[in-house]
Homo-oligomer: A and B are copies of this chain.
Amino acid sequence: MRDETDKTTTDAQMTIRQICDAYDVTPRALRFYESKELLFPIREGQKRLFTRSDRARLKLILRGKRFGFSLEEIRQLLNLYDADDQHLTQLEQTCVIARERLVDMERRRNELDLAIEELRDQLKWGEEKVASLKTQEN
């Protein structure tokens, strides 16, 4: 039974509300991520305290979401980022997943580059058309 809070890590622990304000997420989402084992906040009594590690993971979660990764895919990725305590075979498997993800992300970037170029061209065309329509109108 530990009766004292650890002073050395206190500054790294944030309440659920602080996290919500800082990262623009809802309490519900954070609890949901915990239930899906993407976050592991420690407990002080009933209340959750989010550590530095949790915040780092949360950043990766939010980023992953922006790229259309599912929470399950993100969970697998997160394992790579704190794989310190994993066994050899587990770590090797994590690396395999990471390599796949890396290839996937590189493919996405190429696609994204292409999409950006196309959209730029299309936008340019649209703006020119707007301009021609405006001069033609008067």
**Which residue of B68, B115, B129 contacts A68 across the interface (Cβ within 8 Å)?**
B68
Q: How many copies of this chain sit in the oligomeric assembly?
A: 2
**Which residue of B66, B106, B116 contacts A102 across the interface (Cβ within 8 Å)?**
B116
Flag A84-112 by CB within 8 Å of B: 1 or 0 each.
00001001101100110110011011011
Do the beta carbons of B133 and A88 come within 8 Å of each other? yes
Do the beta carbons of A105 and B116 come within 8 Å of each other? yes
Minimal beta-carbon separation of A53 from chain B (angstroms): 14
Q: Using a CB–CB distance below 8 Å, which chain A residues touch chain B?
A: 63, 65-69, 77, 80-81, 83, 88, 91-92, 94-95, 98-99, 101-102, 105-106, 108-109, 111-113, 115-116, 119-120, 122-123, 126-127, 129-130, 133-134, 137
